[in-house]
Amino acid sequence: MIRKRLLLVPLLLAAACAARPAADRMGPSFSVKDLNGDAVVSSTLRGKVVVVNFWATWCPPCRAEIPDFVEFYEKNKTHGLEIVGLSLDSLTGGPATAEALLPFVRKFKMSYPVVVASQAIVRDFDPGDAIPVTFILDKQGRIRYKQVGGVSLDTLYEWFDRLAAEK
């Protein structure tokens, strides 16, 4: 009996981390500057499928998913996709400024907008206590999916293909 329970633990953990449809609510409005000083404004992203990823430089699962985000972004940015990486480093003891994050972003070739997350944007999205956390917003800006834990390239394509096909 104990052995059966121990076998269920990994299955339950996997189910808890699986991508799930999120409550169909509007994503929060935001206006922030990325590490290059360019504006990233939620209202200008309408009409695109938007991936919002909360991450930190010290987080191994976050580091592991970055190459997939980069590949996915490069292949789909001209097809109605935007990715916004929200670094939680300044709120969790990591590099606290854009200048301090730039070497990491360059090393990982993060070509999508990366932002130093503020307390306000964390409060408004409410990602929870674990990272990475990824939200997928549809073309109207509604949060359609939320995943706690790393996201696979296949999952990104599944979400994007489904939402990009919607009007």
Residue 2 included in any domain:
no
Residue 4 included in any domain:
no
pTM score of the predicted model: 0.85
CATH number, position 49:
3.40.30.10
Which positions ≥6 away from 111 have C-beta within 8 Å? Answer: 70, 73, 74
Relative orientation angle of helices 153-164 and 60-76, to the nearest 10 degrees: 40
Tens of pLDDT, residue by residue, the chain (167 residues): 443 333 333 333 333 444 455 557 899 999 999 999 999 999 999 999 999 999 999 999 999 999 999 999 999 999 999 999 999 998 888 777 888 899 999 999 999 999 999 999 999 999 999 999 999 999 999 999 999 999 999 999 999 999 999 98
Closest CA to 92 of 111, 116, 68: 116
Q: Which domain holds residue 60?
A: 20-164
Residue 8 included in any domain:
no
Residue 92 included in any domain:
yes
Domains identified in the chain, total number: 1
What pLDDT, on a 0 to 100 scale, did the predictor assign at position 95?
73
What pLDDT, on a 0 to 100 scale, did the predictor assign at position 3?
38
Alpha carbon of residue 141 to chain centroid: 15
What pLDDT, on a 0 to 100 scale, did the predictor assign at position 21?
53
Residue 75 included in any domain:
yes
Closest CA to 132 of 150, 119, 118, 120: 150
Cα Rg of the chain (Å, integer):
16
